Structure 1
Amino acid sequence: MRRERWRAVGSVLWRSVAVWLVSTLTMLALAGILPDFQLQSDDGDSATRIASTAALGAGAFGLLSSLVWPLLVRALLLVPALVLGLLAFALNGSLLLLALSLIPDGRGEANPETAVVVAAVMSAVASATGGALAVRDDDAYRRRLYRLADRRRRRRAGGQTGPVPPGTVFIQLDGVGHDVLRTAADNGLMPTVAGWLGQGGEPSHRLTPWRTDWSSQTGASQLGILHGSNHDVPAFRWYEKDTGEVMVSNRPASAAQLQRRAIERTGDGGLLTFDGASRGNLFSGGAEQLALVLSMAARRGKENRSRAGYFAYFSDPANAVRTALSFVAEVGREIGESTRARIRKQRPRIGRGGLYPFIRAFATVVERDVVVAAVIGDMLAGRSAVYADLVAYDEVAHHSGPAGSDVDKVLQRLDRSLALLAKVAEHAPRAYRIVVLSDHGQSPGETFRARYGLTLGDLVRAGCGLPVPRKARRTHSGAEARSAVRAALHRPVEEGAGKDRPAGEAEPVVLASGNLGLVSFPDVPHRMTREEIDQRHPALLPTLANHPGIGFLLVRGEDDRGPVVLGARGSEVYLDEEPGEPGPLADFGPGAADAVRRTDGFPHVADIMVNSWYDPEDGEVLAFEEQIGSHGGLGGAQARPFLLSPLVLSPPVGDGRELVGAERVHEVLRRWLGEYQGPEIPLVGEGSTAVDDYRQGGPGETAFAVTDPAAQDKTR
């Protein structure tokens, strides 16, 4: 026992000395390259004196980075996360200047701009060196994980020993449809997924499609998945007559209210209430461990842990350097891709200028890096259940379309993140079952405004006899990444949300959620019937139903006949009566009537629900928002997400049955959390491969840091 302890101490000392030597050489090299950085007096010094100065400077900088840096970042935890990422460079440079000032005789000198560069390079080199050495020290790594596993086991069992049940990691690939995943695996874009499905060997996972509710968007799906109920979520955004407020799924205050409603309805905290962690989600799922959870972002003060993931990630200054470089590269990639699309006159196409390149880079780089790092920390901490959302594909697909080279690159990087997590699982203190799923898909097609030169709001105004602007106005985008950016900037209210309110009591409120539109009359306190709408605006329903860009309407039938679906040329179907023909719903699949009927029962369904036209041959829809890849209503791939689950778990549904609705997915995931199949689980994965990607990153990938404090000494 004593020998092992001395061996562990010797291993730590060896790694520290190696990192110190590499940092010293790096500082010497930078002093020779950068004219404003010197390690000698003005009269010159011997090579030995310069080397000793570099060693002192590197040692002082390393100590300050280890001791002072985490305190600085924690003190700035309430600073907006994006600002924290930028401040990291300035703070790191300040630590280097402080370290140089500690060198005797004032031989270390650099101006502030050079200090930032030197500190960034040294942090990255030291982190890579320390990580590489630590990863290859399997004995030390396993000892650390055994101690961590022992602590976790004693905490649960009060000192009792025994097999450790497996943990479960749920990774949500936002917006990736079943067919998109299948095609990407078959075409070699996602080799990790392909291997799990048995390409080149025995399968370890099964791929199962499921069907969303009518509201095929993250707010409804993730609320149902994490909390077991998405009742009264008719769309991404909707107007509530009883409060006069517009609810928006990715607005923190709305997300918090939706979560409260779901908990009140189910009487249960959520999927992650037992030793769970929620990372990058709209909702908490009842988890105690939270990072980047939107429903918590509206809270202020030290009790708000929704941005704790940023502290954990940026507590290693090298992470700020690596992520910043990837961020800049992604901004350049988006500018290049959008420029090529304009030159080629690609259709359909929407504007991708302004802040969008930076929003895309945040979703595909910053959000991904922080969330994956948080999941790695959860796995090495041995948590029982983790649910994380990666929004990269969804954000890019909205602007570039669900297929093509732009999204192919995103899918490749997501697959590398899955491979990284699978490698980390080999060294976790318990076995992990990795489940990958999506909340919805994406349907292609141009925008309603681009095809017809007017928005849905303009069409409604025309049907009501109100003046229509000569130039169609742009609509809000429901892209999920914007919510994460707003929360990171401490701007929790959606931009332009106030414009959703009616200009006058007589005017309708028209809202868009992908290819689903909602029309409400705010001066009528109840939901209007078809007859009431016709009396008030005789031309409105015919104008909408007969427009070529509209697939069908849902309104409340008169004389207590229940909901009625209206289509072109007078076709209609009363959903509560025995229909002879599906009528306007014929092109939308066999489950369309049930989905529409369920939504009709929500207390806050709009007076008129509008679903856009859908072409069943090519799967295209017309988005009422500025998106060429959209979701939110019925029609095409948007309503067909997937579940990719290990074979050791029971099948989601029986043979020949279909998994329908996010609430049913919640039941499946909850069932899986209670399942234990297979042989006795070892405390540490038996695989001997080093998790190189974990600390160093694969080709073109960002490396990640452990985010659990108990495991951080392993990686420093």
Structure 2
Amino acid sequence: MRKKLSRSRVLKKKLNLKDLPDSSKKFIIIQVDALSYTLLKKHKEKYMPFLNKYLKSNHLEAYSSGYPSNTCFTQSGILYGENFNIPSFRFLDKKTKTKISLGRAQSANFIEKEILEKNKLGILKGGTSISNTFSGSADRCIFTSSHLYKTKGGPKKLKDLFLIILLNPASTIRVIFFSLIEFITEILESTKEVFTSIIKKKHFNWPFTYPYFPFARTIVNATLREISTKTALLEINRNVPFIYINYLGYDLISHYRGPERLSCLEVLKHLDFEIKKLVNKAKSKKYDIYILSDHGQIPSLPFLKLYNETLEDFLKKATNLSTKSFTLNDSEKTSSSEFIYKKLKYIYRDLSLPLRALTWGLIEVLKFSFKKQEKKDPSVDWSKKEQLMVFKASSLSQIYFNYTDKRMELDEIEKKHPFLIPRIVNHPGIGFIIIKNKKNFEVISNVGKVIITPTSVKYIGERFLDKYSTDKKLIKQIRNFASLKHSGDIIINGDYDGKRVISFEDYHFGSHNSLGGKQSEAFFISKEKIKLDHILDARALYKIFIRYHKEKLYKSNK
């Protein structure tokens, strides 16, 4: 115990952190990224034994994360009660001609600034954000996308984070051990998948088709997980009143392999162990504990593997326009690679010789990655009179024409491209599209149409939306989604057959972001029972957490 206390004191001193006065109003939010309510119920007994036991004295609820079903949309709703400007994970701000990819620090910061213009009070004011997209007004941000570049003393901050591991021999050993395990496991799984998929005539990802993936898996499921947990434990020790930590590992591997593959379920085992540590420490410090997910994920098949062409190739033929596509393979990967490269370069000289040897190899790989990618990064060419821009995010795509900086409507699109809409909806990989038509929105498929007005809904032809969801809230969710700022001129939802959805990203065998199945199905665990079956999206959760600030606000206004 003395060693632990001593280590904790040293760490606080090194990081220049002080204990905060204890408060009766404290919470910690622990997020398991992409784990649906259904899969949690199905696998908790075998793969999450601690959580399974914890639920015997706590309440588990399902809630709808809304449309689009992605982390950024959900977290913005929880943190600020606002998500009006997040129509996808990747999209275009036509007015400012800005490409947005929320895997990039600059983009996350840009969107958070827009949100702060509407609501300056995030639920983490006075608290800490760990591994999130947005800060929620937190005083301290660790691996939080919107703060990666703008945080003062950025290079020193990352060096400080590595101290969390290096000052604890057990943590250092765990990181090295799990890094090796994750890397070797990925190589073995990839190799095995080649043989089994060829025999069973199934689609699969070739090993090293995406060479960054084994490294991403290693970083997220070893280094990042350890730093995140240790940081959260440190913040609990300091009595930080509001903490939000997100674990990304399950989501990452599910995209690459599918949500119920063994490698994904094994990640849940490790996360269960991390959750146990946090819950036990938080209980001892009398925190209110909330454990949740941000959306679900379902099996998918990539558009490219099924039809031997990408979505942008298909749209190029359908429109005869120059077409640009924006995905993970573009600038967002460059951004993160360059960021980690610069930070590792900074701490390199302070490392021991063995760690220098390991770090040097990673530095060279990252340098090669972002330098190569910079040359390929597509840009929006506004000088061209006619260009189509395709922003793909898993099973959802936002399509923009560069004719105007305003959102194009149905009659304008039909006038310029009379046969485009029938061509799109008749493609077997496309489920439906959404287009604005004056004050209305039209949801169009190859078998019918739904016209959504501000006050009513009209069905023409088959009720095709029933196969995506029978939830009574669906029409309201579509109306809200189609009204979001920065939405595309044409919004494309991948086809869903009741089991799998079509993904527009070339390597996704697990998807979310669109409609269909459990993509929008998230879970929420709390001590008190909170009914959430009525909510449209995660904005409703903001009210649960902002009440922790109300007493403080009331006192300050006296």
TM-score, normalised relative to structure 1? 0.65
One-letter amino acid of the structure 1 residue matched with residue 231 of structure 2 = A
- Alpha-carbon distance in 2 for matches of 1:542, 1:597: 22
- Alpha-carbon distance in 1 for matches of 2:138, 2:159: 14
Kindly state the Cα deviation for residue 295 of structure 1 after the two structures are TM-superposed: 0.7
**1:55-94 equivalences in 2 (<5 Å):** none
Match of 1:634 among 491, 511, 515: 515
Kindly state the Cα deviation for residue 215 of structure 1 after the two structures are TM-superposed: 1.4
- Alpha-carbon distance in 1 for matches of 2:108, 2:342: 15
Report if aligned partners of 2:37, 2:62 keep a CA contact under 8 Å in 1: yes
Match of 2:442 among 554, 557, 564: 564
- Alpha-carbon distance in 2 for matches of 1:320, 1:390: 19
- Alpha-carbon distance in 1 for matches of 2:330, 2:518: 18
Q: Deviations over 1:373-416 (max 9, x none)?
A: 00000111111110011101000101111002111110000001
Kindly state the Cα deviation for residue 166 of structure 1 after the two structures are TM-superposed: 5.0
Kindly state the Cα deviation for residue 462 of structure 1 after the two structures are TM-superposed: 1.5
- Alpha-carbon distance in 2 for matches of 1:390, 1:335: 23
- Alpha-carbon distance in 2 for matches of 1:383, 1:574: 46
- Alpha-carbon distance in 2 for matches of 1:480, 1:614: 28
- Alpha-carbon distance in 1 for matches of 2:160, 2:531: 32
Q: Deviations over 1:428-461 (max 9, x none)?
A: xx31222111111111121111111111111211
User: Match of 2:132?
Assistant: 281
User: Match of 2:534?
Assistant: 658
Matched, 1:365 2:242: no
- Alpha-carbon distance in 1 for matches of 2:282, 2:118: 36
One-letter amino acid of the structure 2 residue matched with residue 660 of structure 1 = L
Report if aligned partners of 2:60, 2:526 keep a CA contact under 8 Å in 1: yes
Q: Deviations over 1:249-282 (max 9, x none)?
A: 121111111111111112x330111x31111111
User: Match of 1:458?
Assistant: 313
Match of 1:535 among 392, 407, 415: 415
Q: Deviations over 1:189-229 (max 9, x none)?
A: 1011110122xxxxx21111111221111121111111221
Kindly state the Cα deviation for residue 536 of structure 1 after the two structures are TM-superposed: 0.9
- Cα gap change, 1:499/1:323 in structure 2, threshold over 3 Å: closer, same or farther? same
**1:154-553 equivalences in 2 (<5 Å):** 164-186=23-45, 188-198=46-56, 204-266=57-119, 268-273=120-125, 275-299=126-150, 301-302=152-153, 307=158, 310-316=161-167, 318=169, 319-345=171-197, 347-353=202-208, 354-425=211-282, 427=284, 430-466=285-321, 476=328, 487-490=339-342, 498-502=377-381, 504-553=384-433
- Cα gap change, 1:660/1:312 in structure 2, threshold over 3 Å: closer, same or farther? farther
Report if aligned partners of 1:228, 1:262 keep a CA contact under 8 Å in 2: no
**1:3-18 equivalences in 2 (<5 Å):** none
TM-score, normalised relative to structure 2? 0.83
Kindly state the Cα deviation for residue 466 of structure 1 after the two structures are TM-superposed: 4.3
One-letter amino acid of the structure 1 residue matched with residue 37 of structure 2 = H
Kindly state the Cα deviation for residue 309 of structure 1 after the two structures are TM-superposed: 5.8
Report if aligned partners of 2:101, 2:332 keep a CA contact under 8 Å in 1: no
Kindly state the Cα deviation for residue 475 of structure 1 after the two structures are TM-superposed: 5.0
- Cα gap change, 1:535/1:394 in structure 2, threshold over 3 Å: closer, same or farther? same
Match of 2:545 among 665, 669, 680: 669
Q: SS at 2:508's partner residue? A: coil
Kindly state the Cα deviation for residue 246 of structure 1 after the two structures are TM-superposed: 0.9
Kindly state the Cα deviation for residue 614 of structure 1 after the two structures are TM-superposed: 1.0
- Alpha-carbon distance in 1 for matches of 2:88, 2:174: 38
Match of 1:603 among 478, 485, 497: 485
- Alpha-carbon distance in 2 for matches of 1:673, 1:412: 34
Q: SS at 1:528's partner residue? A: coil
Kindly state the Cα deviation for residue 632 of structure 1 after the two structures are TM-superposed: 1.1
One-letter amino acid of the structure 2 residue matched with residue 383 of structure 1 = V
Q: SS at 2:47's partner residue? A: coil
Report if aligned partners of 2:35, 2:251 keep a CA contact under 8 Å in 1: yes
Kindly state the Cα deviation for residue 638 of structure 1 after the two structures are TM-superposed: 1.2
Q: SS at 2:390's partner residue? A: strand
Q: SS at 1:609's partner residue? A: strand
- Alpha-carbon distance in 1 for matches of 2:481, 2:326: 27
One-letter amino acid of the structure 1 residue matched with residue 502 of structure 2 = L
Q: SS at 1:371's partner residue? A: helix
- Alpha-carbon distance in 2 for matches of 1:280, 1:634: 26
- Alpha-carbon distance in 2 for matches of 1:224, 1:480: 23
Unaligned runs of 5+ in 2: 344-365, 552-558
Between 397-406 and 585-594, report the one with greater CA deviation: 585-594
Kindly state the Cα deviation for residue 600 of structure 1 after the two structures are TM-superposed: 2.3
- Cα gap change, 1:320/1:338 in structure 2, threshold over 3 Å: closer, same or farther? same
Higher relative contact order (CA 8 A, sep 6+): 2
Q: SS at 2:411's partner residue? A: helix
- Alpha-carbon distance in 1 for matches of 2:335, 2:289: 26
Q: Deviations over 1:542-566 (max 9, x none)?
A: 1111111111111121xx3521111
- Cα gap change, 1:652/1:483 in structure 2, threshold over 3 Å: closer, same or farther? farther
One-letter amino acid of the structure 2 residue matched with residue 297 of structure 1 = L
| Structure showing greater Rg | 1
Report if aligned partners of 2:450, 2:458 keep a CA contact under 8 Å in 1: no
Q: Deviations over 1:280-323 (max 9, x none)?
A: 11111111122111111122652678637614414516233431
One-letter amino acid of the structure 2 residue matched with residue 320 of structure 1 = T
* Length, aligned pairs only: 509
- Alpha-carbon distance in 2 for matches of 1:662, 1:438: 10
- Cα gap change, 1:222/1:671 in structure 2, threshold over 3 Å: closer, same or farther? same
Report if aligned partners of 1:371, 1:388 keep a CA contact under 8 Å in 2: yes
One-letter amino acid of the structure 1 residue matched with residue 24 of structure 2 = P
Kindly state the Cα deviation for residue 661 of structure 1 after the two structures are TM-superposed: 0.6
Q: SS at 2:457's partner residue? A: coil
Q: SS at 1:553's partner residue? A: strand
Kindly state the Cα deviation for residue 584 of structure 1 after the two structures are TM-superposed: 3.9
- Alpha-carbon distance in 2 for matches of 1:417, 1:482: 30
- Alpha-carbon distance in 2 for matches of 1:477, 1:413: 29
Q: Deviations over 1:616-667 (max 9, x none)?
A: 2x2x1001012010111111111101111123xx5144xxx42321211222
- Alpha-carbon distance in 1 for matches of 2:548, 2:306: 46
Report if aligned partners of 2:330, 2:378 keep a CA contact under 8 Å in 1: no
User: Match of 2:348?
Assistant: none
- Cα gap change, 1:665/1:479 in structure 2, threshold over 3 Å: closer, same or farther? farther
Report if aligned partners of 1:227, 1:259 keep a CA contact under 8 Å in 2: no
**1:90-105 equivalences in 2 (<5 Å):** none
Matched, 1:585 2:437: no
Report if aligned partners of 1:278, 1:289 keep a CA contact under 8 Å in 2: yes
- Cα gap change, 1:270/1:253 in structure 2, threshold over 3 Å: closer, same or farther? same
- Alpha-carbon distance in 2 for matches of 1:460, 1:247: 21
Q: SS at 1:571's partner residue? A: strand
Report if aligned partners of 1:394, 1:480 keep a CA contact under 8 Å in 2: no
Report if aligned partners of 2:70, 2:295 keep a CA contact under 8 Å in 1: yes
